[in-house]
């Protein structure tokens, strides 16, 4: 078995816990230099165990709203002259969430990315095409620095322009692609339109996917399209970006790098910890970031700790794929629904295409859930009886899953508007 940093990645649990505790105490000591955390606690005394972060000291959670309220510099622990980069959300609905890095932070992040890529099987002999946005979005530069640290040849292609992406792949012999799942489905359609078979007409050997929640069924469909394995990645800009957790060759959960992040899984309602194996909200603390440490940050992502030891030999615990977000949930007719529940149903049906949207509308003073579903070209034909039966089948399957009867609307392939960024699945147009 090969490792990027074998001694660190295979640390016995007791030594890994000790490392985390030592780093956590350093984080708390440094955090009080920031205006925000100084107002919460004075860092009086070291914690004696990881549990003390909630049981003894009662350190409160940090939220995205706290970051916005103390924009831009309220979480900084270092002078601005020591900062070398920031990444930020768009801030279209208010202050953006911004994270600052010094040289240590960028170096640490680069190494985490190299470790992650190596864990999934990327090597310095690969040609790596990065099909995500660069700039304030963390996915572009995060992967770029990791690829360069690993030593692979990088193609910083950026997002969009699918025909050009295919040409780059064929011209330079791309072996690994990184892209968001919804885009890969659209890219495959362009392959077909161009008369190019990604299985036989490229040198692809693996895919890296992430940045948006997706189901196992969606991953399987992508793997069937391209004929190679797709490895799941997880990150969020508040914790650097990509490189927080990554799948290894066994594709049985994402190793979360516990030397850099302390993980809690809590009930999103009670905020109490849940046992390993149970789903809850992921809460994270940075353990190796100097410019802007975050303590007990509520990610809003829903996942669980997977019990057991991974056969790859890494001792860092694994989280399950992200099944949704607490802030993606919508309530209709008294039922709590996550878009991923609907997607899980749709992708089990062979006739369904790669895109869908959920529209919440008020019709005759009643809230209704309308699910628009693209049907594959071979099935979207003039057989009205077949389409009627498919519509009824999908309606029943979704109702059985979410306990609300949707209005299913079948549409032809390519008719749902698509952007180059993360797919927007829910549009809430209900009257207040």
User: What is the spatial distance between Cα 247 and Cα 221, in angstroms, rounded to a whole number?
Assistant: 18
Over the stretch 218-265, which tens digit does the pLDDT of each residue have?
899 999 999 999 999 999 999 999 999 999 999 999 999 999 999 999
Those residues whose C-beta lies under 8 Å from the C-beta of residue 331, and which sit 6 or more positions away, are 337
The residue segments making up the domain with residue 400 are 330-428
320, 338: one domain: no
Query: Is pLDDT of 71 > 90?
Result: yes
CB 136: neighbour CB atoms within 10 A? 16
CA 162 to chain centroid, in Å, comes to 22
247, 270: one domain: yes
pLDDT band for position 339 (50/70/90)? confident
Q: Which of 282, 420, 422, 406 is nearest to 346 (CA)?
A: 406
Q: What is the pLDDT of residue 215?
A: 82
Those residues whose C-beta lies under 8 Å from the C-beta of residue 372, and which sit 6 or more positions away, are 356, 357, 358, 359, 409, 411, 416
* H or E element that contains 374: strand 366-375
Who has greater pLDDT, 1 or 304? 304
Share the mean pLDDT of the chain. Answer: 91
CB 26: neighbour CB atoms within 10 A? 15
Query: Is pLDDT of 397 > 70?
Result: yes
Cα Rg of the chain (Å, integer) = 23
Q: What is the pLDDT of residue 211?
A: 81
20, 165: one domain: yes
Poorest-confidence range of 212-216, 398-402, 407-411?
Answer: 212-216
CATH number for the domain spanning 378: value is 3.30.300.30
CATH number for the domain spanning 149: value is 3.40.50.12780
User: What is the spatial distance between Cα 182 and Cα 179, in angstroms, rounded to a whole number?
Assistant: 8
Q: What is the pLDDT of residue 334?
A: 67
Q: What are the backbone dihedrals phi and psi of residue 225, each rounded to the nearest 5 degrees, phi first?
A: -65, -50
CB 421: neighbour CB atoms within 10 A? 17
Which of 308, 326, 344 is the last residue in one of the domains? 326
Query: Is pLDDT of 25 > 70?
Result: yes
User: What is the spatial distance between Cα 82 and Cα 270, in angstroms, rounded to a whole number?
Assistant: 39
N-terminal to C-terminal alpha carbon distance within the chain: 57
User: What is the spatial distance between Cα 21 and Cα 418, in angstroms, rounded to a whole number?
Assistant: 45
275, 371: one domain: no
| Average pLDDT of the residues in 38-60 | 82
322, 347: one domain: no
Q: What is the pLDDT of residue 390?
A: 93
Q: Is the dihedral of CA 169, 177, 228, 161 positive or negative?
A: negative
Helix intervals (H) in 195-279: 216-226
232, 273: one domain: yes
Which of 276, 310, 326 is the last residue in one of the domains? 326
Structure tokens at 91: 């801030």
Q: What is the pLDDT of residue 44?
A: 61
| Average pLDDT of the residues in 128-148 | 94
| Average pLDDT of the residues in 309-328 | 91
| Average pLDDT of the residues in 87-113 | 87
Q: Which of 372, 362, 365 is nearest to 416 (CA)?
A: 372
| Average pLDDT of the residues in 74-93 | 87
* Token pair 């991923």: residue: 340
Q: What is the pLDDT of residue 249?
A: 95
Q: What is the pLDDT of residue 320?
A: 96
238, 385: one domain: no
Query: Is pLDDT of 313 > 90?
Result: yes
SS3 category, 244: strand
pLDDT band for position 56 (50/70/90)? low
92, 211: one domain: yes
| Average pLDDT of the residues in 199-227 | 92
311, 406: one domain: no
What are the angstrom distances between the C-alpha of 386 and each of 343, 380, 411? 21, 9, 14
Query: Is pLDDT of 92 > 50?
Result: no
SS3 category, 29: helix
pLDDT band for position 382 (50/70/90)? low
334, 322: one domain: no
178, 239: one domain: yes
Query: Is pLDDT of 147 > 60?
Result: yes
Q: What are the backbone dihedrals phi and psi of residue 339, each rounded to the nearest 5 degrees, phi first?
A: -55, -35
Over the stretch 158-188, which tens digit does the pLDDT of each residue have?
988 999 999 999 999 999 999 988 889 889 9
209, 272: one domain: yes
Ramachandran category for residue 344: left, alpha or beta (phi over 0 → left; psi -120 to 50 → alpha): alpha
Which of 326, 353, 374 is the last residue in one of the domains? 326
Task: Report the number of distinct structural domains present in the chain.
Answer: 2
SS3 category, 106: helix
């Amino acid at each position: 078995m090969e490792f990027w940093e074998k001694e660190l990645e295979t640390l016995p649990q007791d030594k890994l816990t000790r490392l985390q505790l030592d780093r956590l105490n350093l984080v708390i000591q440094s955090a009080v230099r920031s205006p925000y955390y100084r107002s919460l606690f004075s860092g009086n005394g070291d914690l004696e165990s990881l549990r003390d972060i909630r049981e003894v000291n009662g350190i409160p959670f940090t939220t995205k709203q706290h970051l916005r309220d103390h924009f831009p510099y309220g979480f900084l622990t270092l002078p601005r002259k020591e900062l070398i980069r920031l990444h930020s959300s768009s801030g279209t609905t208010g202050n953006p969430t911004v994270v600052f890095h010094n040289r240590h932070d960028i170096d640490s992040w680069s190494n985490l990315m190299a470790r992650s890529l190596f864990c999934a099987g990327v090597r310095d002999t690969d040609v790596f095409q990065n099909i995500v946005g660069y700039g304030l979005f963390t996915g572009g530069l995060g992967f770029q620095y990791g690829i360069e640290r690993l030593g692979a040849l990088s193609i910083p292609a950026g997002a969009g322009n699918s025909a050009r992406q295919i040409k780059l792949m064929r011209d330079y012999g791309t072996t690994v692609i990184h892209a968001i799942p919804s885009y890969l489905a659209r890219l495959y359609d362009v392959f077909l339109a161009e008369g190019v078979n990604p299985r036989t007409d490229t040198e692809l050997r693996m895919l890296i996917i992430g940045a948006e929640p997706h189901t196992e069924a969606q991953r399987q469909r992508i793997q069937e399209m391209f004929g190679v394995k797709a490895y799941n990645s997880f990150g969020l800009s508040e914790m650097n970006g990509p490189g927080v957790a990554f799948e290894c060759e066994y594709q049985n959960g994402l190793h979360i790098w516990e030397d850099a992040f302390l993980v809690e899984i809590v009930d999103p309602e009670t905020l109490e910890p849940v046992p390993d194996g149970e789903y809850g909200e992921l809460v994270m603390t940075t353990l190796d970031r100097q410019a802007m440490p975050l303590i007990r940050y509520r990610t809003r992502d829903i996942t669980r700790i997977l019990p057991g030891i991974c056969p790859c030999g890494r001792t860092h615990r694994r989280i399950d794929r992200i099944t949704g977000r607490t802030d993606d949930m919508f309530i209709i007719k008294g039922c709590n629904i996550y878009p991923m529940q609907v997607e899980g149903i749709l992708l089990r049906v062979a006739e369904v295409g790669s895109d869908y949207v959920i529209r919440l509308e008020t019709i005759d003073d009643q809230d209704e859930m309308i699910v628009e579903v693209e049907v594959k070209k071979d099935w979207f034909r003039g057989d009205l009886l077949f389409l009627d039966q498919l519509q009824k089948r999908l309606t029943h399957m979704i109702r059985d899953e979410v306990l609300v009867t949707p209005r299913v609307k079948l549409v032809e392939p390519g008719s749902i508007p698509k952007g180059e960024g993360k797919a927007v699945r829910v549009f809430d147009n209900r009257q207040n």
